[in-house]
Structure 1
Amino acid sequence: MTTVQTYKSLVDERVNEIIAKAKLLDEDTIRWKPSENAWSIMEVMCHVEEFINFWFGEIGNVLQNSSVHFGRKLNEQERSATVAKADNRTVDEILKGLEDANLNALKLLSKYNTAALQVESQHVNPKFGMKPMTFVLDKFVLEHLSIHLSQMERNLRTKKNNEPTMESTK
Protein backbone atom coordinates (compact mmCIF):
# COMPACT_ATOMS: atom_id res chain seq x y z
CA MET A 1 0.00 0.00 0.00
CA THR A 2 1.36 3.39 -1.00
CA THR A 3 1.59 5.76 1.96
CA VAL A 4 0.53 9.38 2.13
CA GLN A 5 4.20 10.34 2.42
CA THR A 6 5.04 8.40 -0.74
CA TYR A 7 2.19 10.06 -2.63
CA LYS A 8 3.38 13.46 -1.44
CA SER A 9 6.92 12.72 -2.59
CA LEU A 10 5.82 11.41 -5.99
CA VAL A 11 3.46 14.32 -6.71
CA ASP A 12 6.06 16.86 -5.59
CA GLU A 13 8.79 15.20 -7.64
CA ARG A 14 6.76 15.07 -10.86
CA VAL A 15 5.34 18.59 -10.63
CA ASN A 16 8.77 19.98 -9.83
CA GLU A 17 10.23 18.08 -12.79
CA ILE A 18 7.73 19.82 -15.08
CA ILE A 19 8.60 23.19 -13.55
CA ALA A 20 12.35 22.55 -13.77
CA LYS A 21 12.13 21.48 -17.43
CA ALA A 22 10.10 24.57 -18.31
CA LYS A 23 12.52 26.92 -16.54
CA LEU A 24 15.30 25.72 -18.86
CA LEU A 25 13.35 26.67 -21.97
CA ASP A 26 12.85 29.93 -23.80
CA GLU A 27 9.34 31.26 -24.28
CA ASP A 28 9.22 30.41 -27.99
CA THR A 29 9.94 26.76 -27.21
CA ILE A 30 7.34 26.71 -24.44
CA ARG A 31 4.68 28.13 -26.76
CA TRP A 32 5.68 26.11 -29.85
CA LYS A 33 3.02 23.69 -31.11
CA PRO A 34 4.28 20.53 -32.82
CA SER A 35 1.12 20.47 -34.97
CA GLU A 36 -2.26 22.11 -35.17
CA ASN A 37 -3.84 19.39 -33.02
CA ALA A 38 -0.99 18.94 -30.52
CA TRP A 39 -0.56 20.93 -27.34
CA SER A 40 2.34 23.28 -26.74
CA ILE A 41 4.32 22.90 -23.52
CA MET A 42 2.46 25.99 -22.29
CA GLU A 43 -0.88 24.30 -22.93
CA VAL A 44 0.37 21.15 -21.20
CA MET A 45 1.41 23.16 -18.13
CA CYS A 46 -1.95 24.97 -18.02
CA HIS A 47 -3.72 21.62 -18.17
CA VAL A 48 -1.48 20.17 -15.45
CA GLU A 49 -2.19 23.12 -13.16
CA GLU A 50 -5.92 22.74 -13.75
CA PHE A 51 -6.08 18.97 -13.26
CA ILE A 52 -4.01 19.06 -10.07
CA ASN A 53 -6.40 21.62 -8.60
CA PHE A 54 -9.40 19.67 -9.89
CA TRP A 55 -8.38 16.20 -8.70
CA PHE A 56 -7.16 17.30 -5.30
CA GLY A 57 -10.40 19.24 -4.88
CA GLU A 58 -12.27 16.04 -5.70
CA ILE A 59 -10.17 14.02 -3.26
CA GLY A 60 -10.81 16.59 -0.53
CA ASN A 61 -14.56 16.53 -1.21
CA VAL A 62 -14.73 12.73 -1.04
CA LEU A 63 -12.63 12.52 2.10
CA GLN A 64 -15.04 14.96 3.75
CA ASN A 65 -18.13 13.16 2.44
CA SER A 66 -17.74 9.79 0.72
CA SER A 67 -21.33 9.84 -0.54
CA VAL A 68 -20.49 12.49 -3.16
CA HIS A 69 -19.59 11.34 -6.65
CA PHE A 70 -16.21 12.39 -7.99
CA GLY A 71 -14.62 12.98 -11.37
CA ARG A 72 -15.63 14.43 -14.68
CA LYS A 73 -16.14 13.43 -18.26
CA LEU A 74 -13.58 14.20 -20.97
CA ASN A 75 -15.70 16.90 -22.61
CA GLU A 76 -16.05 19.11 -19.52
CA GLN A 77 -15.81 22.82 -20.33
CA GLU A 78 -13.34 23.79 -17.61
CA ARG A 79 -10.77 21.30 -18.87
CA SER A 80 -10.80 22.55 -22.47
CA ALA A 81 -11.23 26.23 -21.52
CA THR A 82 -8.03 26.14 -19.49
CA VAL A 83 -6.00 24.95 -22.47
CA ALA A 84 -7.74 27.43 -24.80
CA LYS A 85 -6.66 30.33 -22.55
CA ALA A 86 -2.98 29.30 -22.45
CA ASP A 87 -1.95 32.06 -24.87
CA ASN A 88 -3.38 34.67 -22.49
CA ARG A 89 -1.07 33.65 -19.64
CA THR A 90 2.57 34.41 -19.03
CA VAL A 91 5.12 31.67 -18.48
CA ASP A 92 5.91 33.09 -15.03
CA GLU A 93 2.21 33.07 -14.15
CA ILE A 94 1.76 29.41 -15.07
CA LEU A 95 4.97 28.38 -13.29
CA LYS A 96 3.67 30.12 -10.15
CA GLY A 97 0.30 28.44 -10.69
CA LEU A 98 1.98 25.03 -10.86
CA GLU A 99 3.96 25.74 -7.70
CA ASP A 100 0.78 26.84 -5.89
CA ALA A 101 -1.21 23.83 -7.13
CA ASN A 102 1.57 21.54 -5.94
CA LEU A 103 1.70 23.18 -2.51
CA ASN A 104 -2.08 22.94 -2.15
CA ALA A 105 -2.00 19.25 -3.14
CA LEU A 106 0.73 18.50 -0.61
CA LYS A 107 -1.16 20.44 2.06
CA LEU A 108 -4.32 18.44 1.41
CA LEU A 109 -2.46 15.12 1.59
CA SER A 110 -0.86 16.20 4.87
CA LYS A 111 -4.31 16.37 6.47
CA TYR A 112 -4.94 12.64 6.03
CA ASN A 113 -3.36 9.33 6.93
CA THR A 114 -2.80 6.45 4.55
CA ALA A 115 -5.96 4.61 5.66
CA ALA A 116 -8.11 7.64 4.76
CA LEU A 117 -7.04 7.30 1.14
CA GLN A 118 -8.82 3.93 1.01
CA VAL A 119 -12.20 5.70 1.23
CA GLU A 120 -14.25 4.82 -1.84
CA SER A 121 -16.70 6.86 -3.85
CA GLN A 122 -18.57 6.53 -7.13
CA HIS A 123 -16.97 8.10 -10.20
CA VAL A 124 -19.34 10.15 -12.39
CA ASN A 125 -18.37 7.91 -15.31
CA PRO A 126 -20.00 4.52 -14.62
CA LYS A 127 -17.16 2.64 -16.34
CA PHE A 128 -14.92 3.46 -13.36
CA GLY A 129 -17.46 2.52 -10.69
CA MET A 130 -16.57 2.76 -6.99
CA LYS A 131 -12.92 3.66 -6.48
CA PRO A 132 -10.69 4.48 -3.52
CA MET A 133 -8.86 7.78 -3.51
CA THR A 134 -5.62 5.85 -4.04
CA PHE A 135 -7.00 5.06 -7.51
CA VAL A 136 -7.51 8.77 -8.16
CA LEU A 137 -3.96 9.51 -7.05
CA ASP A 138 -2.45 6.68 -9.09
CA LYS A 139 -4.52 7.03 -12.28
CA PHE A 140 -5.67 10.63 -12.53
CA VAL A 141 -2.73 12.37 -10.85
CA LEU A 142 0.53 10.39 -10.97
CA GLU A 143 -0.04 8.56 -14.25
CA HIS A 144 -1.41 11.76 -15.76
CA LEU A 145 1.66 13.74 -14.63
CA SER A 146 3.94 11.13 -16.18
CA ILE A 147 2.02 11.24 -19.47
CA HIS A 148 2.38 15.01 -19.67
CA LEU A 149 6.06 14.92 -18.74
CA SER A 150 6.53 12.54 -21.67
CA GLN A 151 4.48 14.85 -23.86
CA MET A 152 6.77 17.78 -22.99
CA GLU A 153 9.83 15.67 -23.82
CA ARG A 154 8.26 14.56 -27.11
CA ASN A 155 7.58 18.21 -28.01
CA LEU A 156 11.21 19.07 -27.33
CA ARG A 157 12.48 16.17 -29.47
CA THR A 158 10.10 17.08 -32.28
CA LYS A 159 11.14 20.73 -32.18
CA LYS A 160 14.81 19.79 -32.19
CA ASN A 161 14.30 17.46 -35.17
CA ASN A 162 12.46 20.21 -37.08
CA GLU A 163 15.11 22.87 -36.55
CA PRO A 164 17.50 23.46 -39.42
CA THR A 165 21.05 22.31 -38.79
CA MET A 166 24.13 24.25 -39.85
CA GLU A 167 24.63 21.78 -42.69
CA SER A 168 21.08 22.17 -43.98
CA THR A 169 21.37 25.97 -44.09
CA LYS A 170 24.44 25.95 -46.37
Structure 2
Amino acid sequence: MTFQNIEKSIESIQLSIDHILETTKNLPEETVRCNPTEDEWSILQILSHLAEAIPYWLGEVKTVVSMPGSKWGRGLQDPARLAAVTDTERLSVDEVKKQVEELKGKVESVLGKLDQETLSKESPHRNFAKFGNKPVSYIVDHFIDEHVSGHYGQIQRNLSKIK
Protein backbone atom coordinates (compact mmCIF):
# COMPACT_ATOMS: atom_id res chain seq x y z
CA MET A 1 0.00 0.00 0.00
CA THR A 2 1.36 3.41 -0.88
CA PHE A 3 1.31 6.07 1.77
CA GLN A 4 -2.01 7.80 2.22
CA ASN A 5 -2.73 10.67 4.56
CA ILE A 6 -3.31 9.69 8.16
CA GLU A 7 -6.97 10.70 8.18
CA LYS A 8 -7.65 8.27 5.33
CA SER A 9 -5.69 5.55 7.13
CA ILE A 10 -7.71 6.06 10.32
CA GLU A 11 -10.95 6.04 8.32
CA SER A 12 -9.92 2.87 6.48
CA ILE A 13 -8.99 1.06 9.69
CA GLN A 14 -12.19 2.08 11.43
CA LEU A 15 -14.27 1.09 8.41
CA SER A 16 -12.67 -2.37 8.36
CA ILE A 17 -13.41 -2.72 12.08
CA ASP A 18 -17.02 -1.67 11.43
CA HIS A 19 -17.30 -4.27 8.65
CA ILE A 20 -15.92 -6.94 10.97
CA LEU A 21 -18.33 -6.04 13.76
CA GLU A 22 -21.32 -5.82 11.42
CA THR A 23 -20.43 -9.18 9.85
CA THR A 24 -20.10 -10.90 13.22
CA LYS A 25 -22.92 -9.08 15.04
CA ASN A 26 -25.68 -11.65 14.61
CA LEU A 27 -23.65 -14.79 14.12
CA PRO A 28 -24.44 -17.71 16.40
CA GLU A 29 -21.75 -18.33 18.97
CA GLU A 30 -21.03 -21.77 17.53
CA THR A 31 -20.24 -20.13 14.16
CA VAL A 32 -17.91 -17.62 15.79
CA ARG A 33 -16.09 -20.42 17.62
CA CYS A 34 -15.93 -22.81 14.65
CA ASN A 35 -12.60 -23.50 12.95
CA PRO A 36 -13.34 -24.01 9.23
CA THR A 37 -10.43 -26.46 9.01
CA GLU A 38 -7.86 -27.79 11.43
CA ASP A 39 -5.29 -25.26 10.18
CA GLU A 40 -7.48 -22.16 10.15
CA TRP A 41 -8.40 -19.76 12.91
CA SER A 42 -11.97 -19.41 14.09
CA ILE A 43 -13.63 -16.01 13.85
CA LEU A 44 -13.18 -15.71 17.61
CA GLN A 45 -9.45 -16.32 17.24
CA ILE A 46 -9.31 -13.64 14.54
CA LEU A 47 -11.17 -11.18 16.76
CA SER A 48 -8.98 -12.00 19.75
CA HIS A 49 -5.87 -11.63 17.59
CA LEU A 50 -7.00 -8.17 16.45
CA ALA A 51 -7.80 -7.14 20.03
CA GLU A 52 -4.19 -7.98 20.93
CA ALA A 53 -2.34 -7.07 17.74
CA ILE A 54 -3.66 -3.61 16.98
CA PRO A 55 -2.77 -2.20 20.43
CA TYR A 56 0.65 -3.84 20.01
CA TRP A 57 1.24 -2.08 16.68
CA LEU A 58 -0.11 1.21 18.01
CA GLY A 59 2.46 0.83 20.81
CA GLU A 60 5.18 0.26 18.24
CA VAL A 61 4.11 3.46 16.46
CA LYS A 62 4.28 5.38 19.74
CA THR A 63 7.75 3.96 20.45
CA VAL A 64 9.27 4.86 17.09
CA VAL A 65 7.65 8.30 17.18
CA SER A 66 9.05 9.04 20.63
CA MET A 67 12.44 7.43 19.90
CA PRO A 68 13.18 7.67 16.17
CA GLY A 69 15.61 5.00 15.07
CA SER A 70 14.47 2.52 17.73
CA LYS A 71 13.74 -0.99 16.54
CA TRP A 72 10.16 -2.11 15.95
CA GLY A 73 8.33 -5.35 15.17
CA ARG A 74 7.99 -8.89 16.45
CA GLY A 75 8.06 -12.43 15.11
CA LEU A 76 5.24 -14.88 14.54
CA GLN A 77 6.20 -16.77 17.70
CA ASP A 78 5.72 -13.75 19.99
CA PRO A 79 4.13 -15.09 23.23
CA ALA A 80 1.41 -12.40 23.44
CA ARG A 81 0.49 -12.96 19.79
CA LEU A 82 0.21 -16.71 20.31
CA ALA A 83 -1.70 -16.36 23.59
CA ALA A 84 -4.42 -14.33 21.84
CA VAL A 85 -5.31 -17.29 19.60
CA THR A 86 -4.77 -20.12 22.10
CA ASP A 87 -7.41 -21.44 24.49
CA THR A 88 -10.08 -19.11 23.13
CA GLU A 89 -12.76 -21.44 24.52
CA ARG A 90 -12.49 -19.50 27.78
CA LEU A 91 -13.13 -16.14 26.09
CA SER A 92 -16.48 -14.36 26.02
CA VAL A 93 -17.48 -13.62 22.42
CA ASP A 94 -19.25 -10.42 23.51
CA GLU A 95 -16.23 -9.23 25.49
CA VAL A 96 -13.85 -9.81 22.60
CA LYS A 97 -16.21 -7.97 20.23
CA LYS A 98 -16.29 -5.09 22.70
CA GLN A 99 -12.48 -5.02 22.71
CA VAL A 100 -12.49 -4.89 18.90
CA GLU A 101 -15.02 -2.03 18.97
CA GLU A 102 -12.75 -0.12 21.38
CA LEU A 103 -9.92 -0.35 18.86
CA LYS A 104 -11.55 2.40 16.82
CA GLY A 105 -11.00 4.95 19.59
CA LYS A 106 -7.48 3.71 20.26
CA VAL A 107 -6.59 4.05 16.57
CA GLU A 108 -7.94 7.61 16.51
CA SER A 109 -6.17 8.51 19.75
CA VAL A 110 -2.72 7.34 18.66
CA LEU A 111 -2.73 7.92 14.92
CA GLY A 112 -4.74 11.15 14.98
CA LYS A 113 -1.76 12.93 16.57
CA LEU A 114 0.64 12.11 13.73
CA ASP A 115 1.66 14.62 11.08
CA GLN A 116 3.42 14.14 7.74
CA GLU A 117 6.86 14.77 9.22
CA THR A 118 6.33 12.25 12.00
CA LEU A 119 4.95 9.68 9.56
CA SER A 120 8.13 9.91 7.49
CA LYS A 121 10.54 9.18 10.39
CA GLU A 122 12.34 5.89 9.79
CA SER A 123 13.32 3.05 12.11
CA PRO A 124 14.59 -0.53 11.58
CA HIS A 125 12.61 -3.74 12.09
CA ARG A 126 14.04 -5.69 15.04
CA ASN A 127 13.95 -9.11 13.37
CA PHE A 128 14.15 -8.67 9.64
CA ALA A 129 17.01 -6.77 8.06
CA LYS A 130 15.20 -7.25 4.73
CA PHE A 131 12.72 -4.58 5.80
CA GLY A 132 15.52 -2.08 6.34
CA ASN A 133 14.54 1.26 7.77
CA LYS A 134 10.87 1.99 7.25
CA PRO A 135 8.86 5.12 7.95
CA VAL A 136 6.14 5.22 10.60
CA SER A 137 3.63 5.35 7.73
CA TYR A 138 4.77 1.85 6.69
CA ILE A 139 3.85 0.46 10.11
CA VAL A 140 0.46 2.20 9.96
CA ASP A 141 -0.31 1.12 6.40
CA HIS A 142 1.02 -2.43 6.49
CA PHE A 143 0.77 -3.66 10.08
CA ILE A 144 -2.44 -1.87 11.06
CA ASP A 145 -4.56 -0.87 8.04
CA GLU A 146 -3.78 -3.82 5.74
CA HIS A 147 -3.71 -6.13 8.75
CA VAL A 148 -7.26 -5.31 9.86
CA SER A 149 -8.55 -5.37 6.29
CA GLY A 150 -6.89 -8.73 5.66
CA HIS A 151 -8.53 -10.26 8.71
CA TYR A 152 -11.92 -8.98 7.53
CA GLY A 153 -11.30 -10.94 4.34
CA GLN A 154 -10.31 -13.96 6.42
CA ILE A 155 -13.63 -13.75 8.31
CA GLN A 156 -15.47 -13.65 4.98
CA ARG A 157 -13.58 -16.76 3.78
CA ASN A 158 -14.37 -18.54 7.04
CA LEU A 159 -18.06 -17.84 6.66
CA SER A 160 -18.06 -19.11 3.08
CA LYS A 161 -16.59 -22.41 4.31
CA ILE A 162 -18.84 -22.78 7.35
CA LYS A 163 -22.19 -22.09 5.66
Q: TM-score, normalised by structure 1?
A: 0.89
Give the number of equivalent residue pairs. 160
Which structure has the greater CA radius of gyration?
1
Matched, 1:148 2:151: yes
Aligned equivalents of 1:115, 1:3: Cα separation in 2: 11
Give, in angstroms, the shift of residue 66 of structure 1. Answer: 0.8
1:130 match: 133
- Deviations 1:125-151 (CA, angstroms, capped at 9, x unpaired): 212110001111121112212221111
Give, in angstroms, the shift of residue 25 of structure 1. Answer: 0.9
Give, in angstroms, the shift of residue 102 of structure 1. Answer: 2.3
Q: What secondary structure, in the 3-state scheme, does the structure 2 residue paired with 1:74 have?
A: coil
Matched, 1:116 2:118: yes
Note if contact 1:120-1:132 (Cα within 8 Å) is conserved in structure 2: yes
- Which runs of 5 or more structure 2 residues have no equivalent in the other structure? none
Give, in angstroms, the shift of residue 24 of structure 1. Answer: 2.4
Give, in angstroms, the shift of residue 152 of structure 1. Answer: 0.5
- Which runs of 5 or more structure 1 residues have no equivalent in the other structure? 161-170
Give, in angstroms, the shift of residue 115 of structure 1. Answer: 2.5
Aligned equivalents of 2:19, 2:111: Cα separation in 1: 19
* Letter aligned with residue 152 of structure 1: I
Q: TM-score, normalised by structure 2?
A: 0.93
Flag the structure with more relative contact order, 1 or 2, with Cα contacts below 8 A and sequence separation at least 6.
2
Query: Among the aligned pairs, what percent are the same residue?
Result: 32
* Letter aligned with residue 18 of structure 1: I
* Letter aligned with residue 145 of structure 1: V
What value does the CA root-mean-square deviation take over the aligned residues?
A: 1.2
